[in-house]
Amino acid sequence: MNAKASEGIMVRWISWGMLWMSLLSRAQAQEPQKELAVAEGPTREERLAWLEAADRYIRDVFTRQDRLQYPEAAQRYLRMLALLDDSLTEAEARILAPHVQALEAIYPDARRSLSGAALQRWWQWQDPRPATPRNERLEEHLERWAYAMRHYSVGGKLDDRGLVYVCYGPPSRKTSVRLDHARYRQQVLDREPTLSLSGFPENEFWVYAHLHKDLHFLFVRKGAEGYRIGTSEELIPRGLYQSPRRVMALLRTLEEIYRQLSIYHIDYGMLYDELATYITAVESRIPRPELPSAVAFAQGILSKVQQQDLTVRERQQALRPPFYSNVLEEVDTLAIQLRIARFLNPDGVTRTEVYWSGPVATFRLSKAQQRRLERQGVDPAQAAYVLESSLLQYDADYRITAPAKFYYRLTAAALEQLQGWLAPQRYVVESPRDLYHLAFEVDQYATLPHRFSPEQAILVKLFAIRLDSLKALKADPELLEMSDLLPLWYDAAASDTLPGRPYPFVQLSPEVPLALYFEVYHLRLGAGERTRYEVAYEVRRRAEGGLLRRGELVQIGSRTVYEGTSRKAREYIVLDLQTWKDMRSVEVVVRVRDLHSGQEVWRAINFELIS
C-alpha cells in the first residue's frame, strides 16, 4: 500500500487503525494457469479415455455436492471445452453433447461458434468474484446440470424441464394438473366409459415468481421426447373433440384444468371463472334464453384458450432472461469507485496503478445483513469487519501473472462513528508488453473479534470488476507515447512527485481543486538537444437543459508550448470547476504533439458533476 495514498487531503482521513496484515498466502501460492492440455498421450484412445473419466468425475462430484472438489471439477470441465477447437470423433462428440446443449441454453451465441477458447473466456466473464481462485457461477451451472441430467433427461439429452432448470435453477412453486380425484371421476370419467386417465398427458407446471410474477412454464410429456414446453390446450385428450355429445365432458375437463392452474397463476383465473359460471348455469336447469348452446360455448371458449396460450407464450419469451444465478444473492454490493492509470517505466515496462475508495456508509450493514449474522451466531455490534482487497493481472491468454491481496480491519463501533470516505488506496502492477487484463475485488467479511480467515468468516458485501483487453504502452523510443490521465486533488505542496493526492472518484463538485497529471515519453530532441512540444486540452461538457430547451454541448480549451531537455516530460493541468455549475457531465481530452517529429497522442477522462 502506498503510504502517501493513505494521507487524507481531499477526503476525511479515517483513523480506523487499519491494519495491513499481509499478502494473502494463498494468492502468493497461485501459479499461472497451465495450458488446457487434456491428455499426456497423443492417441485418440487416450484422449477419449481422459474425456470419459473427466465427464464421470464432474457428474459424480456435483451429484454428491462434494464442494471441496468443485474447483477441480470445474477446471476439468474447462479443459473439456478446449477440445471443441479440435476435430472430434463421434464418441468424443457424444460425451460433449450434453454439455454443449446446456451451454446453448444459457449462452445463445454458443450456437454460432463452438470455439473452446471463446467459451472459456465467456465463463471467466461470468465469474462473480474474479479475484478468487473459484468461479462460483460455473460451479452453480455444473451443479444444476448434474441434477438436471439425473432428473430431467431422456436418452442422454435434457428435455425442456432440464434446460429451464439449467437456466434458472429450481422453481419457486411446482405442481401438475391431475384428473384422478373423485369429483372429476364422478362427473366425467364415470359418464364416459371410453375415456381413461391414460389419455391425459403427464405434465408439470413450474412458477418462477422470484424472477417475475408472470414467469411460468407448463411442460407436457411428448412420449420419447420427454417433457416439452406446451400449452394448456395440449392437456385436453383428443378424444373429447370427436363427438358433440361429449361437449360437456370437454367443458368440465377444461374447468378442472383451469381450476388447478388458477391456484398458481392468475393467467388462468378468468377462463376458469367463465367455465365454472357456464357449467353452473347449465346444471341449474333454469331456462335462460341468453345462454348459448354447449357446442357454441365450447367453440368460443376453445378460441379463447388458444389466444390465452399464445399470450402466455409471447410474454414468456419477453420475460425470461438468458439465465438466473442466485450465487451471492445474500451478499450486498459495495459502492466502490476506482481509476486506473498506465505509466511507462524506464525499462519500457508498463506500470499500471489502480486507485480505489468508497464512502464509509457503504461498509455499514443493512438490517437484513445484521439479521443474517445473528442467525449465524455473530453479534453485529460486537463483530469485527475485515476488508480484503484483491487485484489479479492476467496475460493475453488469461493466465494469472500478478496476484496481490491486502487486509484491513475495523470494528463495528468505529464503523458507526466515522463519516466521509475511505482514503484512496493504491495498487501497482507491472504489466506485460502486450495485451493484458485486470480483475479487482473488495470483499467485506464479518467475523468474531480477534479471529479472521476467509474460509470461516461471513462474506457480507462485495465489489468486483473486470478490466479487459488493456494494452501496454508503446516502448519503442521512436514512437511518441503518453500515460493515462490521473486525476488529483490539487495541492502543489503535496509531494515532490505529484501535485496533489489521487482522486479515484467519478463524481465532481465545483469545489474540488482538480488537476490531471500525465507523462509524455519519447519526445524527439531537436536543435540544441532540446525538446519542443505542444499540450492542448479541451473540456467537453453538456449543460443542463431547461423546461423548454435541450442540453447544450459546450467546449472550452487551451494550448501551451513547452521546451525541455529530457525525452520524458511530467505535466499536469489544473482545471477550475467553479464555472461548471449546472453541468451534468464532462469529458476532458488532452493532446500532446511533438513539434519536432509531428507525432501526436491523446487521452480522455470523464466525470459526473454534482452540486
Fold agreement between 1-30+330-473 and 476-611: yes
Predicted local confidence at residue 495, as pLDDT: 66
> What are the grid coordinates assigned to 505, written together?
472518484
CA distance 571 to 556: 19
Predicted local confidence at residue 450, as pLDDT: 67
**445 vs 291: which has the higher pLDDT:** 445
CA angle 222, 224, 228 (to 5 degrees): 35
pLDDT at 23 over 80: no
Contact 378, 452 (CB under 8 A): no
Task: Look up the pTM and report it.
Answer: 0.79
| 3-class state of residue 214 by DSSP | coil
Contact 337, 357 (CB under 8 A): yes
Q: Mean pLDDT, to the nearest integer, of 109-124?
A: 83
Closest by CA position to 172, among listed 210, 143, 215: 210
pLDDT over 70 percentage in the chain: 88
pLDDT at 127 over 60: yes
| 3-class state of residue 293 by DSSP | coil
CA distance 478 to 598: 12
Predicted local confidence at residue 22, as pLDDT: 27
Q: Mean pLDDT, to the nearest integer, of 9-22?
A: 28
| 3-class state of residue 157 by DSSP | strand
| 3-class state of residue 358 by DSSP | coil
Contact 134, 77 (CB under 8 A): no
The domain ranges of the chain are: 1-30+330-473, 33-160, 173-319, 476-611
User: How would residue 554 be classed by pLDDT, with cut points 50, 70 and 90?
Assistant: low
pLDDT digits (tens, 9 = 90+) for 46-100: 999 999 999 999 999 999 999 999 999 999 999 999 998 888 899 999 999 999 9
pLDDT at 187 over 90: no
> What are the grid coordinates assigned to 570, written together?
511530467
Cα distances (angstroms) measured from residue 44 to each of 37, 49, 96, 169, 364: 14, 9, 15, 36, 57
Give the right CATH number for 1-30+330-473 from 2.60.40.2310, 3.40.50.720, 3.30.930.10, 2.60.40.10: 2.60.40.10
Contact 400, 330 (CB under 8 A): no
pLDDT digits (tens, 9 = 90+) for 419-463: 888 889 999 999 877 899 999 999 999 987 766 666 678 999 999
pLDDT at 185 over 90: no
pLDDT digits (tens, 9 = 90+) for 204-225: 999 999 999 999 999 999 988 8
Question: Which residue type does 508 have?
Answer: L
User: How would residue 245 be classed by pLDDT, with cut points 50, 70 and 90?
Assistant: confident
Predicted local confidence at residue 219, as pLDDT: 97
Predicted local confidence at residue 36, as pLDDT: 40
Predicted local confidence at residue 553, as pLDDT: 54
Predicted local confidence at residue 17, as pLDDT: 29
pLDDT at 611 over 80: no
476-611: in CATH 2.60.40.3880: yes
> What are the grid coordinates assigned to 383, written together?
463483530
CA distance 229 to 309: 11
pLDDT at 253 over 50: yes
pLDDT at 10 over 80: no
pLDDT over 90 percentage in the chain: 57
Q: Mean pLDDT, to the nearest integer, of 348-356?
A: 95
> What are the grid coordinates assigned to 239, written together?
378424444
pLDDT at 588 over 70: yes
Q: Mean pLDDT, to the nearest integer, of 254-261?
A: 92
Question: Which residue type does 299 have?
Answer: Q
Closest by CA position to 512, among listed 542, 540, 488: 488
User: How would residue 578 be classed by pLDDT, with cut points 50, 70 and 90?
Assistant: confident
Predicted local confidence at residue 564, as pLDDT: 94
Question: Which residue type does 484 have?
Answer: D
User: How would residue 29 be classed by pLDDT, with cut points 50, 70 and 90?
Assistant: very low
Predicted local confidence at residue 551, as pLDDT: 44
User: How would residue 546 be classed by pLDDT, with cut points 50, 70 and 90?
Assistant: very low
> What are the grid coordinates assigned to 576, written together?
477550475
Adjacent-strand bridge partners of 541: 554, 586
Q: What is the mean pLDDT of the chain?
A: 85
User: How would residue 283 be classed by pLDDT, with cut points 50, 70 and 90?
Assistant: confident
Q: Mean pLDDT, to the nearest integer, of 162-184?
A: 93
Predicted local confidence at residue 19, as pLDDT: 26
Predicted local confidence at residue 169, as pLDDT: 97
Contact 390, 131 (CB under 8 A): yes
pLDDT digits (tens, 9 = 90+) for 460-493: 999 999 998 999 999 999 999 999 999 999 987 7
